[in-house]
């Protein structure tokens, strides 16, 4: 029964993400922040900022799977969800593009530090296999999508549950705002690296954030809806596994 339900949940993810891909695909030369786009100093800086979160996340995953090895399937599903959604691209700012992130699902179930690892692995594979992003910009991309996005989604979900919001609404807001938070940080990163001649950092940030907002807001809403659908299905058919996850157990 468990294998059958997991296959069906994967089928839902595939079907819905295929729909979004079919309706949103356009040719683009870059995804995330592309290889070589950031100055070397900023590329190294974001690597240094991101590495501690990856190390903490590795320990978190190791401890969680030692206690409950049966959670490997849900962890793998969370990683696959991130990979598929973040591979959908819409051209946006030169040197980057807009796409869903998919990190909200795993952040709610496993916490933000675990998603720092899964998100970074996804970004690494996409840079090597799909030419999306790059190795020099991996630290910057990972910080925005795999560190800040999951952390924001996790906090919003917890706040929503404390405010007694419905479970689905808490999931929706977490996934949607976690997605948007990623692009606020990306705008921040690009503005730091490329301040405008007139207006400096503030002018650049406003420009980048406003351009991203046109493409990202509808994507974030779509991601929130999809995350609710998948989470409700997992909650229905894999409650035994979800009860072992602290974040979901507290929210149930």
Rounded alpha-carbon distances, angstroms, from residue 237 to 14, 80, 157, 242 = 18, 18, 21, 10
pTM confidence score: 0.80
Q: How far is Cα 144 from Cα 207, in angstroms, rounded to an integer? A: 18
Judged by average pLDDT, the poorest of 3-7, 19-23, 125-129 is: 19-23
Rounded alpha-carbon distances, angstroms, from residue 47 to 99, 112, 115, 179 = 22, 18, 16, 21
Average pLDDT of span 231-251: 62
Average pLDDT of span 67-71: 82
Kindly list the structural domains of the chain, giving each domain's residue range(s) and its CATH number in brackets, ordered by start.
2-251 (1.10.1760.20)
Cβ atoms within 10 A of the Cβ of 244, count? 14
The 10s digit of each residue's pLDDT in 86-95 is 877 665 555 4
What does the pLDDT read at residue 248?
A: 43
Contact 103, 224 (CB under 8 A): no
What does the pLDDT read at residue 88?
A: 72
Pick left, alpha or beta for residue 131 (phi over 0 → left; psi -120 to 50 → alpha; otherwise beta). left
Q: How far is Cα 250 from Cα 108, in angstroms, rounded to an integer? A: 11
What does the pLDDT read at residue 98?
A: 66
pLDDT confidence bin for 25, thresholds 50/70/90: very low
10 burial (CB, 10 Å; 0-12 / 13-18 / 19+) is: middle
pLDDT confidence bin for 214, thresholds 50/70/90: confident
What does 84-149 look like in DSSP terms, one character per residue? HHHT--EE-STT-EE----HHHHHHHH-HHHHHHHHHHHHHHHHHHS--S-STTHHHHHIIIIIIH
What does the pLDDT read at residue 148?
A: 96
167 pLDDT more than 60:
yes
What does the pLDDT read at residue 240?
A: 58
What does the pLDDT read at residue 14?
A: 54
pLDDT confidence bin for 234, thresholds 50/70/90: confident
What does the pLDDT read at residue 53?
A: 96
Average pLDDT of span 189-200: 90
What does the pLDDT read at residue 135?
A: 87
């Amino acid at each position: 029964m468990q294998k059958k339900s997991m296959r069906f949940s994967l089928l839902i993810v595939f079907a819905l993400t295929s729909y979004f891909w079919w309706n949103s695909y356009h040719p683009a030369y870059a995804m995330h922040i592309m290889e070589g786009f950031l100055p070397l100093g900023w590329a190294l800086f974001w690597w240094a900022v991101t590495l501690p979160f990856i190390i903490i996340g590795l320990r978190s995953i190791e401890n969680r799977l030692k206690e409950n090895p049966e959670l490997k399937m849900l962890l793998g599903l969370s990683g696959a969800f991130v990979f598929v959604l973040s591979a959908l691209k819409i051209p946006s700012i030169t040197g980057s593009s807009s796409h869903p992130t998919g990190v909200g699902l795993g952040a709610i179930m496993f916490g933000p530090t675990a998603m720092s690892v899964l998100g970074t692995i996804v970004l690494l594979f996409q840079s090597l296999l799909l030419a999306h992003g790059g190795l020099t910009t991996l630290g910057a991309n990972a910080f925005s999508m795999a560190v800040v996005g999951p952390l924001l989604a996790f906090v919003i979900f917890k706040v929503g549950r404390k405010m007694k919001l419905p479970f689905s609404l808490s999931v929706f807001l977490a996934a949607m705002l976690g997605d948007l938070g990623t692009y606020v940080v990306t705008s921040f990163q690009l503005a730091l690296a490329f301040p405008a001649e007139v207006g400096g950092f503030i002018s650049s940030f406003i420009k980048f954030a406003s351009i991203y907002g046109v493409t990202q807001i509808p994507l974030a809403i779509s991601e929130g809806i999809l995350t609710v659908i998948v989470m409700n299905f997992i909650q229905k058919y894999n409650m035994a596994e979800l009860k072992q996850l602290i974040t979901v157990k507290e929210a149930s």
